[in-house]
Amino acid sequence: MSQFDSLSLEVTSTVDRVVEELRRALFDGELEAGTPLREMAIADSLGISRSTVREALGVLVAEGLAVRLPNRGVQVASPDPASVRDLCRARAVLEAAGVRGWPAADEQQRDAVRRALVDYTAAVHDGASYQTLNERHLAIHLSLVGLLGSPRLVATAETLSAELRLALAQIDRIRRNAHDQAGSHTHLLRLLERGDVEAAAAEIGHHLEDAEVAILAALAPES
């Protein structure tokens, strides 16, 4: 261990914290689509170096939450119909595979799905904020991919989930009552528990198709 190891770890920790704070602002809708993410302004606001901000912005770009434009710097990504369709269909492939992996999954992986549903239902009953409901709702979907037992696929699903949260944060018109989602996900788990995997796969497919339609409708210009 060298004298520089702790310095490297501290820098990484700072970058992680900046990334988390920027993600929070994005997911809470504080930063609108197309908002410039200026290194100097962020560095001054957080009391950190521009190089740390630059590294954090690189993470957001890699995650699809921000875009780097020639001669214009980094700005918040803007959801568009083509990217939303691609995002929703990628999720559908992963989550349908996860649902079909239920019979081969171990009890720990199945319990993760059960716990995610319990947490989400509790948030609904407690009247949690839209952001909390959204986060816990998407955690159920991530737990379905977790049934496959593949860290790489889970990481891919996490990236898709982050992009979806950004899109939802930018669309005020899609802030619907989350109670309907609690009911449909409870039904999904019941299908899995009784071994009706194909019915569960069809259920998640319909759910994601409905989500895609709702997001695209919200993105359409108001007449």
Whole-number pLDDT of residue 187: 95
131 or 89, higher pLDDT: 89
Q: Do 99 and 200 belong to one domain?
A: yes
Q: How many CA atoms within 13 Å lie on the side-chain side of 144?
A: 28
**Domain tally, the chain:** 2
Domain range for residue 94?
Answer: 81-219
Question: What percentage of the chain exceeds 90 in pLDDT?
Answer: 59
How far does Cα 161 stand from its chain's mean position? 2
**pLDDT confidence of residue 214:** 86
Same domain, 20 and 92: no
Q: Domain containing 147 — which CATH number?
A: 1.20.120.530
| pTM of the predicted structure, to 2 decimals | 0.81
- Would the pLDDT of 223 be above 60? no
Residues 101-152 pLDDT 10s = 999 999 999 999 999 999 999 999 898 888 888 899 999 999 999 999 999 9
Residue 177 pLDDT more than 80? no
Q: Which residue, 58, 76, 94, sits at the end of a domain?
A: 76
Q: What CATH number is given to the structural domain containing 28?
A: 1.10.10.10
Q: Does 72 share its domain with 85?
A: no
Is there a single domain that holds both residue 94 and residue 52? no
- 61 and 119 both lie in a single domain: no
Mean pLDDT (the chain, rounded): 88
Q: What is the pLDDT of residue 3?
A: 44
Q: How far apart are CA 82 and CA 86, in angstroms?
A: 6
What are the C-alpha distances in Å from 223 to residues 176, 201, 220?
Answer: 20, 36, 9
Q: Is residue 90 located within the same domain as residue 195?
A: yes
